[in-house]
């Protein structure tokens, strides 16, 4: 079963419970101080939030900031009548449409991988998407506070998928959203939820755990270790640690030998997109419906540099194209270290790793055969790059990263080396006067030399990382300074990490790093983009090996980084 909280609808443009609390606080604050809401700073302003908390902390009877009953208290205080609360919810959900995450959820229902969905949300996003994917509202059941018998019957029959709305929806006459109403949670729905938790597993996503009526049921459902027989999985954002009661629930579940896990995921959409990668039997009509749903990324114009609004520039450069296939060699060889040893022994220019399917490699066919001919090649074939294997530190991810590093430095006065945290690319000091490095020289002021009062050579460098996020491939660039020392531990790159803080090397690194923020860092990113892509070019094709036969690793890199700014709706 799945349990959806407000966070599952956040990407559809709906406020989460936490966001609603800040909105209620703002309204009450402005009303009591006779201020216009328009005159207030944005609710994301940390100083304004602190001011709001100070204002309410001094008021007797108000809950402490971050307490479990903030949502219900402030909702009831801001909108004392049920009619006004209904009107607020109605306004809030107007215009929301299902996201790709909702479409993926419906796809799991269509594939019979998911039968029961519980939610505390008021919106109709899940109903809308189920009707679209399943073809009709008659193909699934909905249980609400107005009709709990529908939920009981659907759960008993197990003939149709069922969505159960524990707090009603915005058309229900029985909205549950204040302290008294939450305490009086419908007994029949609560009993059904507890019974199902005792015989099925549960995935919880987008729910803070600050609704005591729901948490009471989950704790009861542990049933001395008999509950959640297929596991209990609580999904939360990395920057939103679970509430204390959630942590206690999960700890107690583990003590009772329940298969319980806290799992960090950035967004509901990203979670569902990653889950769909695990299934190869998704019909084309569902894939098309997901593709046509509200996209997670939308085209946007590059910000005007003269605009005074502070857009945020990222250090992620889009990889427009990456290799589509590897050479697959099925042979009798051990692990990746054995593969590396075979390539070195054959003295060929081949990039290769071991996977469960065999050796995957980039290189000319003749060189690949030479490297592995002694290991009884049974099959010499092609294998498609699986995007799902690029989402984590897999063998495929490592091979693509190595190939990308080679492609970035090929033909340029740069060198590369592995580190404990990935790869670094640095200026070849013997070629520091090369005209191809001139953009970097202009951005950094100097790109190589000797640390003052020291014999340690230094040069400009970048740490790089390949990542696949939001269904796109990215090159992450982190400008740094590399100090060439005899026993390079790689920690010397980091300001403040040198063994002796009074050492001239550490002082040099801190001095250069101190100026690398905002405009200075943007210039460095531009300088490296001009070196890697080419001055005046929007993108460039990069080849790891430069071969004309076999399988080369070919990338297309854009010089326009990702950026973020306020959406104008």
Give me the DSSP letters along 401-458.
HHHHHHHHHTTSSEEEEEETTEEEEEE-GGGTT-GGGHHHHHHHS--EEE-TTS--EE
Burial class (CB in 10 A: 0-12, 13-18, 19+), 436: middle
β-pair partners for 428: none
User: What is residue 329's three-state secondary structure?
Assistant: strand
Q: Are strands 414-419 and 422-427 parallel, antiparallel or unpaired?
A: antiparallel
**Among candidates 48, 67, 406, 370, which has minimal Cα distance to 212?**
67
In DSSP terms, 165 is beta-bridged to 119
Closest CA to 412 of 329, 557, 531: 531
Question: 132 in helix, strand or coil?
Answer: helix
Domain ranges of the chain: 8-93, 95-292, 325-384, 406-558
What pLDDT, on the 0 to 100 scale, is given for residue 251? 94
Among all chains, which residue has been given the structure tokens 């690029």? 390
As a whole number of Å, the CA-based R_g of the chain is: 28
Options 3.90.79, 3.40.50, 2.30.30, 3.30.420; which CATH number does 95-292 get?
3.40.50
Residues 50-70: pLDDT tens digits?
A: 889 999 988 888 988 877 678
CA–CA gap between residue 353 and residue 335 (Å, rounded): 8
Burial of residue 167, with CB atoms counted within 10 A of its CB: 0-12 exposed, 13-18 middle, 19 or more buried: buried
**Residue 119's closest CA among 9, 233, 3?**
3
Check: CB of residue 563 under 8 Å from CB of residue 374: no
Return per-residue pLDDT of the chain as tens, 569 residues: 999 998 888 777 777 777 888 989 999 999 998 888 888 887 777 788 888 999 998 888 898 887 767 878 888 899 888 788 878 877 777 767 788 888 889 989 988 889 999 998 888 889 888 998 888 888 898 887 777 777 788 888 888 899 998 875 544 445 455 555 544 446 778 888 999 999 999 999 999 887 888 899 999 999 888 999 999 999 998 877 888 899 999 999 999 999 999 998 888 888 888 888 777 667 676 666 666 655 556 666 766 666 655 578 899 999 999 999 999 999 999 988 999 999 999 999 999 999 988 999 999 999 999 999 999 999 999 999 988 788 778 889 999 999 999 999 999 999 999 887 789 999 999 999 999 999 999 999 899 999 988 889 999 999 999 998 877 899 999 999 988 754 444 444 443 344 444 578 888 888 888 778 888 899 999 999 999 999 889 999 999 999 989 999 999 999 999 888 765 54
Is residue 332 within 8 A of residue 342, CB to CB? The reply is: no
Opening angle at CA 340, ends 337 and 342, nearest 5: 110
Estimate to the nearest angstrom the gap between the alpha carbon of 457 and the chain centroid: 39
Question: What's this model's pTM, rounded to 2 decimal places?
Answer: 0.58
Fold annotation for 325-384:
Alpha-Beta Plaits (3.30.70)
Q: What is the Cα–Cα distance from 372 to 359, expressed in whole angstroms?
A: 9
Q: Which two tokens stand for residue 222?
A: 């542990």
CB neighbour list of residue 62: distance below 8 Å, 6 or more residues apart: 56, 73
Nearest Cα to Cα of residue 408 among 269, 277, 554? 554
Which has the closest alpha carbon to 362: 82, 553, 141, 119? Answer: 553
């Amino acid at each position: 079963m799945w349990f959806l909280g407000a966070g599952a609808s956040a990407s559809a443009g709906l406020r989460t419970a936490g966001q609603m609390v800040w909105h209620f606080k703002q309204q009450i604050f402005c009303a009591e101080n006779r201020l216009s809401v328009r005159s207030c700073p944005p609710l994301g302003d940390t100083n304004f939030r602190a001011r709001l908390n100070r204002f309410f902390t001094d008021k007797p009877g108000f809950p402490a900031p971050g307490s479990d009953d903030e949502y219900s208290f402030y909702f009831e205080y801001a909108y004392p009548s049920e009619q006004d609360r209904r009107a607020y919810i109605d306004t809030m959900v107007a215009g929301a449409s299902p996201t790709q995450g909702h479409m993926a959820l419906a796809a799991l229902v269509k594939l019979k991988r998911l039968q029961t969905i519980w939610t505390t949300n008021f919106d109709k996003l899940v109903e809308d998407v189920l009707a679209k994917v399943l073809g009709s509202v008659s193909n699934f059941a909905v249980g609400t506070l107005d009709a709990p018998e529908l939920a009981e019957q659907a759960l008993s029959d197990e003939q149709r998928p069922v969505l159960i709305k524990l707090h009603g929806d915005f058309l229900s006459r029985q909205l549950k959203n204040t302290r008294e109403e939450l305490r009086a949670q419908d007994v029949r729905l609560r009993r059904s939820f507890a019974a199902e938790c005792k015989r099925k597993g549960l995935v919880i996503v987008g729910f803070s755990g600050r609704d005591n009526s729901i948490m009471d049921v989950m704790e009861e459902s542990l049933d001395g270790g008999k509950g959640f027989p297929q596991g209990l999985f609580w999904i939360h954002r990395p920057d939103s640690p679970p509430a204390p009661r959630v942590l206690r629930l999960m700890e107690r579940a583990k003590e009772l030998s329940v298969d319980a896990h806290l799992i960090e995921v950035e967004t509901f959409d990203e979670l569902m997109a990653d889950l769909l990668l695990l299934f190869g039997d998704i019909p084309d009509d569902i894939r098309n419906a997901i593709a046509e749903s509200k996209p997670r990324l939308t085209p946007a114009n590059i910000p005007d540099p003269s605009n005074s609004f502070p857009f945020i520039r990222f250090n992620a450069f889009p990889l427009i194209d990456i290799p589509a296939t590897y050479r697959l060699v099925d042979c009798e060889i051990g692990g990746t270290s054995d593969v590396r040893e075979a390539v070195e022994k054959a003295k060929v220019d081949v990039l290769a790793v071991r996977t469960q399917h065999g050796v995957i490699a980039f290189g000319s066919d003749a060189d690949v055969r030479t490297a592995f001919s002694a290991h009884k090649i049974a099959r010499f074939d092609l294998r498609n790059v699986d995007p799902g294997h690029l989402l984590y530190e897999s063998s495929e991810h490592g091979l693509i990263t190595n190939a990308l590093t080679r492609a970035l430095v090929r033909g340029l006065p740069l060198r590369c080396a592995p580190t404990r945290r990935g790869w670094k690319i640095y200026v070849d000091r013997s070629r520091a006067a090369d005209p191809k490095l001139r953009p970097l020289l202009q951005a950094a002021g100097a790109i190589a030399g000797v640390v003052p009062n020291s014999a340690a050579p230094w040069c400009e460098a970048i740490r790089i990382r390949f990542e696949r996020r939001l269904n796109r491939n990215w090159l992450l660039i982190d400008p740094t300074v590399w100090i060439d020392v005899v026993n390079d531990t790689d920690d010397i790159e980091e300001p403040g990490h040198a063994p002796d803080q009074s050492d001239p090397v550490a002082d040099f690194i801190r001095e250069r790093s101190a100026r690398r923020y905002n405009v200075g860092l943007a210039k460095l990113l531009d300088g490296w983009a001009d070196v890697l892509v080419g001055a005046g070019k929007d993108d460039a094709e990069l080849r790891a090996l430069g071969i004309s036969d076999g399988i080369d690793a070919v990338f297309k890199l854009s010089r326009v980084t990702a950026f973020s700014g306020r959406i104008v709706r």
